Amino acid sequence: MDDLKKIHDLARREHIPIMKDDGIAFLVAYLEEHENIRDILECGTAVGYSAIRMAQVRWDMQVDTLEIDPKMYEEACRNIREHGLEDRIHCHLCDASEFQSDRVYDLIFVDAAKSQYRRYLEHFYSNTMPGSVFIFDNLNFHGIVDDPALSGNRGTLQMTRKIKTFRDHLLADDRFETVFYPDTGDGVAVAKRKKSSSFEEQSGKQ
């Protein structure tokens, strides 16, 4: 665990975007409580910290993790190798919205470009089944989503408006049972895919 703490502390010092400590604790506890979760997709590898934490929950965890930044991708691959997890964590250098796979995932953890969250939701919906779960981080974005006065930066305000729109959409999307945890991490939503939604029933989809 000391080596993992070094990764954590270095990321904090260098302002690398890894999940807040109580957020990662929530994520790990969720995996521990749901023993049916084995196959995971992560959007936003950073330096591999959260992927390693997830893979260490159980011996049979398999994680596909996606990172767009080449430097962070290389560091993540190195950290994963040093933890002996390269056979269970598979790191891909790509934009999450362009990743293609036939795999069906039990859990999809999204901590990447905040303005693209809805795009990721729709892009990876076909990689889920009833019971699969999406977990989204940063839905508060340092409190600015609910209190725009906390930032005077136009770009940040535009992004947080998109986050608010997505959050409202997710809570209203009847394909999922969604619970929002505003005081966990930087605002975490857990969206579990239902057996069917009204839209899917009308269209004949499952």
Could you read off the pLDDT of 62-113 as tens digits, one per residue? 999 999 999 999 999 999 999 999 999 999 999 999 999 999 999 999 998 8
Residue 198: predicted pLDDT: 53
The yes-or-no verdict on residue 197 having pLDDT over 60 is no
The yes-or-no verdict on residue 184 having pLDDT over 60 is yes
Residue 155: predicted pLDDT: 79
Residue 113: predicted pLDDT: 84
Residue 200: predicted pLDDT: 53
At 188, which helix (H) or strand (E)?
strand 188-193
The arithmetic mean of pLDDT across residues 10-18, rounded, is 89
The yes-or-no verdict on residue 143 having pLDDT over 80 is no
CB atoms near residue 72 (< 10 Å): 20
Give the chain's domains with CATH numbers: 2-203 (3.40.50.150)
Tell me how far apart the alpha carbons of residues 115 and 102 are, in angstroms, rounded to a whole number: 25
Comparing 32-41, 122-131, 149-158, the range with the smallest average pLDDT is 149-158
Q: Which residues, including other chains, have CB under 8 Å from residue 145's CB and lie 6 or more apart?
A: 139, 160, 163, 164, 167, 187
Per-residue pLDDT of 145-163, as tens digits, reads 766 777 777 877 887 788 8
The yes-or-no verdict on residue 39 having pLDDT over 60 is yes
